[in-house]
Structure 1
Amino acid sequence: MSTATYILGIVSALIALFTVVELLRRRRLRERHAVWWFVAALLALVLGIFPATLTALADLLGVEVPTNLVFFVSIVILFLVSLQHSSELTGLEDKTRVLAEESALQKVRLERLEGLQERPSGDFRPEP
Structure 2
Amino acid sequence: MSWLDEIKFDDAGLVPVIAQDEHTGRVLMFAFANRDAVALAAEKGTAHYWTRSRQKLWHKGEESGNFQHIKEIRLDCDGDVLIYIIQQDGGIACHTGRESCFFRKLVGAEWEVVDAVLKDPASIYGKHSH
The two structures share one fold, judged by TM-score above 0.5: no
TM-score band, normalised by shorter chain? under 0.3
Bigger share in strand: 2
| TM-score, structure 2 normalization | 0.26
Bigger share in helix: 1
